[in-house]
């Protein structure tokens, strides 16, 4: 039961949107107080994972609480390049540690706030994916944010409602690589401009309009380009079957089943979709042809819209969010907002070996 880890980087703010008695209080104390208030509404997040007699995962809602760590750094965020990659601060110094005497696999939520000398700060989260998905985690963080800014309560009342989710058919993803023999994949973060995205959207939409088809999204453009670029750079044999897996937000499909139409539901409500094609077909197709593969018709989720980029604890939204991956041998591609909310997107990838990164990067940026 993996703990999803991320760093949320907040620049110093001259004007703070905090009311009440918290005007002179620093970010760590402000967030800690708001966290305690938010957990009254989201009390399962203060529990621990356990197993029922039937072997199902459940939450023991005792009084264990959330592990909160306060830290300070003697440098400014500018000194460490605002945690751009490669990070100049080890991630373990910015993430909350596992408390002594606790089983990591039982933990639900850990939070650390690190204050920097410039007045900026970094919030490090470790969140159990067994309890909440991305939209659910962002909903909770947003609740902490509005309470930190002085709200009297949460604007969205949380809904547990896990029994309303039907058991999905088993997702067919394929076996994971053996860590002992797997190749290390190289990290790469690439900022993609809005002009780049619009170039391919306009090209595809013109063809789709002529054929009476549907238009495409920025998500479809970026994933199609990344899939083709990775397939070409990796040098697979032409008859190798390559797969594309992505999470589909199932909330729009289950709103009739969920309490209050899904408003406030913060549990897992997604399904892993998989598309397969011969490597030769993906590598040899144009980007618009890859977009028109079968996955175009599925309900995909744009993860830039989860809500992490809008969370405000009183110092404004984060300059950027850094998702962290801990498995160097599983190919991943994460789409996030670019630095300081610029137009476009940022692709954080770990999908090719070091000797193939240059080819992947070059293929990703070309406009063909």
Query: Catalytic positions, please?
Result: 129, 312
* Backbone φ/ψ region at 223: left (φ over 0), alpha (ψ -120 to 50), beta: alpha
Output DSSP code: residue 265.
B
DSSP H helical ranges for 273-354: 279-284, 287-291
Tell me the two tokens of residue 82.
């605002």
Name the nearest CA neighbour of 291 among 234, 190, 213, 365.
213
Q: Which DSSP helix (H) or strand (E) runs through 141?
A: helix 134-148
34 alpha carbon, distance to own chain's centre: 22
Output DSSP code: residue 217.
-
276 forms bridges with which residues in the sheet?
Answer: 243
Name the nearest CA neighbour of 34 among 149, 157, 155.
149
Bridge-based pairing of strands 121-128 and 270-278 is unpaired
Per DSSP, the three-state class of 35 is helix
């Amino acid at each position: 039961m993996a703990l999803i880890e991320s760093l949320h980087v907040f620049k110093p703010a001259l004007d703070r949107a905090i009311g009440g008695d918290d005007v002179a209080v620093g970010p760590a104390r402000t967030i800690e107080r708001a966290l305690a208030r938010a957990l009254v509404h989201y009390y399962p997040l203060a529990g621990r994972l356990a197993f029922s007699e039937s072997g199902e995962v459940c939450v023991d809602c005792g009084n264990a609480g959330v592990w909160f760590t306060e830290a300070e750094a003697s440098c400014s965020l500018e000194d460490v390049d605002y945690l751009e990659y490669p990070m100049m601060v080890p991630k373990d110094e910015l993430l909350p540690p596992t408390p002594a005497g606790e089983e990591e696999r039982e933990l639900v939520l850990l939070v650390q706030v690190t204050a920097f000398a410039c007045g900026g700060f970094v919030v490090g989260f470790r969140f159990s994916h067994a309890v909440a998905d991305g939209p659910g985690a962002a909903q909770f963080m947003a609740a902490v944010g509005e309470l930190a800014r002085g709200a009297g309560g949460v604007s969205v009342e949380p809904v547990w409602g896990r029994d309303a989710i039907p058991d999905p058919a088993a997702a067919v993803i394929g076996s994971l690589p053996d860590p002992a023999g797997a190749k290390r994949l190289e990290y790469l973060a690439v900022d993609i401009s809005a002009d780049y995205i619009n170039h391919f959207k306009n090209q595809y939409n013109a063809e789709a309009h002529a054929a009476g088809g549907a238009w495409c999204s920025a998500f479809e453009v970026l994933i199609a380009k990344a899939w083709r670029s990775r397939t070409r750079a990796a040098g697979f044999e032409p008859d190798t079957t390559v797969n594309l897996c992505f999470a589909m937000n199932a909330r729009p499909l289950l709103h009739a089943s969920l309490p209050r139409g899904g408003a406030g539901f913060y549990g897992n409500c997604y399904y892993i979709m998989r598309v397969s094609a011969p490597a030769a077909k993906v590598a040899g197709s144009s980007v618009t042809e890859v977009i028109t593969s079968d996955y175009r018709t599925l309900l995909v989720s744009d993860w830039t819209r989860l809500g992490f980029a809008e969370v405000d604890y009183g110092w404004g939204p984060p300059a950027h969010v850094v998702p962290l991956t801990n498995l160097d041998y599983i190919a991943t591609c994460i789409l996030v907002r670019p630095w300081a909310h610029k137009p476009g997107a940022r692709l954080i990838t770990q999908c090719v070996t070091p000797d193939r990164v240059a080819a992947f990067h070059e293929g990703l940026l070309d406009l063909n």
